Structure 1
Amino acid sequence: MKARDFSVLLGVISIIIMLVIPLPGWLLSILILINISLALIVILVSMNTTEPLQFSVFPSLLLLLTLFRLGLNVSTTRSILSEANAGGVVETFGTFVIGNNPLVGFVVFVILIIIQFLVITKGSERVSEVAARFTLDAMPGKQMSIDADLNAGMINEQQAKDRREKIEHEADFYGAMDGASKFVKGDAIAGIIIVLINIIFGLIIGVAQLGLSFNEAIDVYMRLTVGDGLVSQIPALLISTATGIVVTRVASDGNLSADVSKQLLRYPTLLYIAGGTIFLLGLTPINFLLTTVIAAVLIFSAFSLSRKSQEEAEPTQEQIDESDSEEMRLPENVVGLINMDPIEFEFGYGLIPLADSNQGGDLLDRVVMIRRQLAIELGLVIPVVRIRDNIQLNPNEYRLKIKGNEVTRGELLLDHYLAMSPGIDEDELDGIDTVEPAFGLPAKWITEEAKDDAEMSGYTVVDPPSVVSTHITELVKRYAHQLIGRQETQQLIDHLKEMNPILVEEVTPDPLSVGDVQKVLAKLLREQVSIKNLPVIFETLADFAKMTTDTDLLTEYVRQSLSAQITNEIVQGRPQLKVITVSGEVEKLIAEHIQQTEHGSYLAMDPDTQQRVVHSVAENVENMSLQEEMPVILCSPTIRMYFKQLLDRFYPHVVVLSYNEIEPTAEIQSIGVVKVA
């Protein structure tokens, strides 16, 4: 346990001891001064917080300080009644206030108690009650506001979680303050009772037991009682004031002192009026010199504030000249620098002609065509591609970034062509060996003079702009699921709502939020399934969202509804679809290892069994590659999702389909079986 934590525990135990064991006068004086110091610290902290939650420990601290003060009251009362002595601090306070007239001192003390109990304590208690009630009443509306911002894409999941936690903490804080304010009220009442006890029983003890005269008893016990009351009521008054400050504090950018000075002196004209009014009061029998001095101070302050405001409103020529440099230091300009482009294409200075239209570059036009093509194929409006040069890259190097993360890097030779081999080894072509970046095929960079010979030999020859545009197209397809967020999903929903308003209303916002729909669309795009047919997707969601809101299951239902589209995309005009099937043994094995949790289901298979299944898949995929066939695995609908999850880490590009996703008219030929090797 840390020393700081141990000291707090020791302090609480000491308070309990104070209630039982008599304390000497010198120790009481030390504890009284500590009590006053703690009260000063609390009120200063409360004045320097910008919002109540910055002092969230205050309710518990208020209880401990109240207990400490009551413990001191018990100890001082014991000392006053038993020894007619409660330490130098109590004696000094009592002598200073009472002076030579005990009655006047007692009246001053009674006024202090009335202020403490009827004004500060009662007001703080009432404000705490109202704040707690209003905070609890406002919670549902605040929660709905957060959900609306989240669904609209204005905030992310973490920001929504933080805001919900803040609302919960506010409710807990004001509820605790409502209860803690009752301790303050009880402490004030206890102080009044203790004062009466000290006076009444002090007089009885002084006259009956100590043999003092009535006047001597009045002088001794009145002085000690008033002193004891002051050293306890002054900290209580500070704590009560701090309570009122905390519960009435409105969140702002500054502390209480800054807000008061800023807002109170915001209108200099009003200070002129106040100064004139005070001056006119001096024409009455009130002291003319005094009112004139105060009025002069107010008017001078108003003049100074007016002049300062005018100077701030009219900047000097020097300030105007420095505005450009100062503008870069403003927070809003700094914030603008953290904006992240969804898609960024950067290239070295050697590839500038690729994007410079004055040098014949047409990359910008090609990017426009890519966005149109992907909108038709995927049904997703791809964000604008930010194209810029980067001197940190090699002259002929380029890279593509998705959401700020680099996903690929390549190299182009602008004065060459990329020739891809037809698979015939007879013709040897001179060139620079490389790899075609989009599909990873072996290729060569050849000169323009060798272009005709390469085409005659059956090579596929592509110019550099086509190479990079194809690369961008394939990568954007691959990472399209990262490019669709809640804002993009809302745009698709709004577009669909123009033609099918009833369908949209049946799906969102109830039973599915925009975030749920976004997850389904992202899962489809992750496996290269187009979301262009939104009506069919929403029809399926409308049918099945009433039974489950699990986005994984909903995605499977949507895939089955898109079976015709998926079949056409896979078959692509071929007479037969050659596939790899999954054996019944493997399907049963996967089904037995599916774990159900409150957050969904997942495949929990031991590593050894996973390795054997993946090894079997690897053998079959290699055989299909040798036959120049696209690897497609066919399995039952119940395990498709989990089997795809298993293969994603090893073969993310292998297509996994269920029997329900293939049209009955498609001719299928099995050329391999996945078994437990």
Structure 2
Amino acid sequence: MKLRDVTVLLGIIGIVLMMVIPVNIHLLDFLLMINIALALMILLVGMNTRDALQFSIFPALLLITTLFRLALNVSTTRNILAEGEAGSVVSTFGNFVAGGKLVVGFVIFLILVLVNFIVITKGSERVAEVSARFTLDAMPGKQMSIDADLNAGLINEIQARERRQKIEREADFYGAMDGASKFVKGDAIAGIIMLLINLIGGLAIGMFMENLPIAEALQKYAILTIGDGLVSQIPALLISTSAGLIVTRAASEGNLSEDIIKQITAQPKMMYIVAGTLVFLGIFTPITWYVPMSLAAVLAIGAYRMQKDLDRKQVQEEQLEEEQQIEEVRSPESVISLLQVDPIEFEFGYGLIPLADTQQGGDLLDRIILIRRQCALELGIVVPVIRIRDNIQLRPNEYIIKIKGNTVATGELLLNHYLAMSPGIDDDSVNGIETKEPAFGFPALWIDEATKERAELSGYTVVDPPSVVATHLTEIIKKHAHELLGRQETKALIDNTKEAYPALVDELIPNVLTIGEVQKVLAKLLREKVSVRDLVTILETLADYGTYSKDPEILAEYVRQSLSRQITNQFASSNDALRVITVGPSLEKKIAESVQQSEHGSYLALDPSSSQLIYHKLSEQVTKMLQSGQQPLILTSPTIRMYLRQLLERTMQEIPVLSYSELEPSVEIQSVGVVNL
């Protein structure tokens, strides 16, 4: 064994022997000074630790020092009662600290015991108990965080092992401190008991064995008793303070002195208030004026210098930040950040800034939150975060909407005006600036506040500029929802479904279909404005038919048939019949004969003249329905529905194409036109 190990072992054995074997008075003085020096050393080390684990030996050291202090109490008690003296250290504390006055000595001793026992020890015990419980409760979360960082590649295996060991050591430390605080509590109680033993025993020996008068016996033994109590309670108070400092220290970059000076002086303006308060006390109270005035002057000067230092540091930090930004722009890596493309962007001219500025009453941000919620309910997808920014290159009242960096819609607003759309019969008394409603392209007027009430009485639909933008943005998102749903977004939807339906997802992915193939099917549905919110039904259908075909077009048709109730409710009301344009037998036969098969799937191959003829025939029927105020809807057989949809994709994208299999049997269908060749 090493010499230091032997020294510690012999020291602990010596502490135990001190309780049994009498100690020489001169050696006792030396040990008492060691006790005081050791307590000071522990206090200073505790103040200069940045983390409690830097002084992890403290719980065991607390037990050893408490045992050492009790052994010294036993030795001094033995000397006081047996020989009537306990060395120069005890007598010095009894005469010098207490001033030779018994009452003063008793009061000081009781104050030290109460401060140690009630204030410091009880507080440290409670903090250690709570810290131990919270540390144990937080262990699973910290372990999961370490595993997540390790899986993400943020840390390596060695760093993860070190972090886990630190968490275990923290739990062990605070658990040990919770129990070790009881040592200090018991030491304070033992100090009071030994004081009473020394006092009563000393009086008994002095009066009955040495035949001293009660006053002389009290003077002789009481002073020694007080000195013994003070010489043990002062180190006990120091070590209790160390325990309190350690368990109340939060993680920091500096020691206690640095943190106190840095954090207390971080608000120089508060020091001016304190200085002003002291000046008030010096003027309006009987306090000697130079005491508060001098202290107020020191605080004011200190606050002034600290404020100048803070201002100088702030300027330096701003300059350093600007230099770093310049360096980042110059560095080759800064170009990578320019490659990021936002899924949705809303840019506007400077004249429309009040729409997004909450301080000017703008509620555009709140409306966008509602738009995302609405799209989640209607479409079943999570719309990405919409980037909002002003663009000085646009006209003051102009705005544009971008999807993946490309402009897909533009519009123009007039603030302090309202957009009024005619009910069909114009009122000549309603005057305004002619325009078009940006979302649907209807003719409209920009009217002022004075004309708003008259327009509403005339049946006009009147909306404010924020509502115009919200409606336009909502329609653009619905129109381009299939572009916003990528593989990553699809995986997020599937993972959310997996929490409630793990068997379904495990069967489908990746055994039957991949994430990419599911994403293509969902995109097909969204392209025709079919909600994918009922993802369970969609995945069930894909699991059933995915083993027979991998073609997204065919799988999408199977899914549409499974969503027949949803599609029926989307287009048909419960009271009225569903009015549709029916595809005649000759047209169905022509389309069916024009379907070609390839290794990548089937497609429609029509000659240009036939395509133009079909467009012309359908356009006539669609126009008739629009003129009668009805929503055009094309109904065909299930076998050719997707091919007819492909044919009309570019010219009639907004016209829904349904098949008989996608409608519930209970719905009443009324054909308002038949298209034949």
- Normalised by the shorter chain, which TM-score bucket? 0.5 to 0.7
Counterpart amino acid of 2:487? R
Q: Does 1:498 align with 2:499?
A: yes
Q: How does 1:49-448 map to 2 (within 5 A)?
A: 322-448=323-449
Q: 1:437 to 1:319 in 2, by over 3 A?
A: closer
Equivalent pair of 2:568/2:664 in contact (CA under 8 Å): yes
Structure possessing the higher radius of gyration over alpha carbons: 2
Q: Distance in 2 between matches of 1:425 and 1:573?
A: 32
505 and 425 in structure 1: CA distance in 2 versus 1, 3 angstrom threshold: same
Q: Measure, in 2, the Cα distance between the counterparts of 1:543 and 1:327.
A: 53
Between the aligned partners of 2:519 and 2:365, the Cα distance in structure 1 is: 29
- Counterpart of 1:399, as a letter, is I
Cα distance, 1:656–1:352 mapped onto 2, change above 3 Å? same
2:517 counterpart of 1:520: no
- State the one-letter code of the partner of 1:541: L
Structure 1 residue 322 displacement after superposition: 4.5
What whole-Å deviation, never above 9, does each CA across 1:484-513 have from its counterpart, x for those lacking one?
000000000100110111111111112211
Deviation at 1:427, TM superposition (A): 4.2
State the SS of the aligned residue for 1:452.
helix
Letter in 1 for 2:605: A
What is the aligned length? 359
Cα 1:572/1:366, change in 2 over 3 Å? farther
Please state how far the C-alpha of 1:530 moved relative to its aligned partner.
0.1
- TM-superposition CA deviations, 1:647-668 (whole Å, max 9, x none): 1111110000000001111111
Counterpart of 2:402, as a letter, is K
Give how far 1:319 is off: 10
- CA drift of 1:627 comes to 1.2
1:575 equivalent in structure 2: 576
> In the TM superposition, what is the alpha-carbon distance from 1:321 to its structure 2 partner?
8.4
Identity %: 61
Alpha-carbon distance in structure 2 between the residues aligned to 1:637 and 1:648: 17
Does residue 463 of structure 1 match 2:467? no
* TM superposition shift of 1:360: 0.3
Root-mean-square deviation over aligned CA pairs:
1.4
Deviation at 1:332, TM superposition (A): 2.7
SS at match of 2:330: coil
Letter in 1 for 2:435: T
CA distance in 2, matches of 1:449, 1:660: 53
The answer as to whether partners of 1:422 and 1:460 remain within 8 angstroms in 2 is: yes
Query: Residues 447-485 of structure 1: CA distance to partner in whole angstroms, max 9, x if unpaired?
Result: 000000000100010000000000000110000000000
Q: Secondary structure at the match of 1:481?
A: helix
Question: How much does 1:573 deviate?
Answer: 4.2
Shift of 1:334: 1.6
Specify the alignment match of 2:619 in structure 1. Answer: 618
Residues 348 and 390 in structure 2, CA contact (< 8 A), matched pair in contact too: yes
Q: TM-score, structure 1 length as denominator?
A: 0.52
Alignment deviations for residues 409-453 of structure 1 (CA, whole Å, 9 cap, x no partner) = 100000110000000135442000111111111100000000000
Structure 2 CA distance for partners of 1:409 and 1:640, relative to 1, 3 Å: same
Equivalent residues of 2:427, 2:458 under 8 A apart: no
Query: In the alignment, is residue 474 of structure 1 matched against residue 480 of structure 2?
Result: no
CA shift digits 1:117-162 (9 cap, x unpaired) = xxxxxxxxxxxxxxxxxxxxxxxxxxxxxxxxxxxxxxxxxxxxxx
C-alpha contact 1:427 1:457 (8 A) present in aligned 2: no
Contact 2:625–2:631 (Cα < 8 Å) also in 1: yes
Question: What is the one-letter code of the residue matched to 1:555?
Answer: A
Deviations along 1:347-366, one digit per CA (max 9) or x if unpaired, are: 00000000000000000000
Runs of 4+ in 1 over 6 A off after TM superposition: 318-321
CA distance in 1, matches of 2:608, 2:671: 28
Look up the equivalent residue of 2:514 and give its one-letter code: S
Please give the secondary structure, in 1, of the residue aligned with 2:462: strand
Correspondence for 1:449: 450
Query: What is the letter of the counterpart of residue 658 of structure 1?
Result: S
- Match for residue 630 of structure 1? 631
Secondary structure at 1:499 match in 2: coil
Which secondary structure state, in structure 2, belongs to the residue aligned with residue 515 of structure 1? helix
- Aligned residue identity for 1:519: K
Shift of 1:601: 0.7
Counterpart CA distance in 1 for 2:385 and 2:324 is 32
Note if contact 2:379-2:531 (Cα within 8 Å) is conserved in structure 1. yes
Amino acid at match of 2:447: I
**SS of residue in 1 equivalent to 2:512:** coil
Instruction: Rate the CA distance shift 1:618–1:383 in 2: closer, same or farther, 3 A.
Output: same
Gaps of 5+ in 1: 1-317
Kindly report which structure 2 residues correspond to 1:22-61, keeping only aligned pairs within 5 A, or say none.
none
CA–CA distance in structure 2, aligned partners of residues 465 and 358 of structure 1: 15
In 1, Cα distance between equivalents of 2:408 and 2:463 = 23
Structure 1 counterpart of 2:641, one-letter code:
R
TM-score w.r.t. length of structure 2: 0.52
* 1:541 alignment partner in structure 2: 542
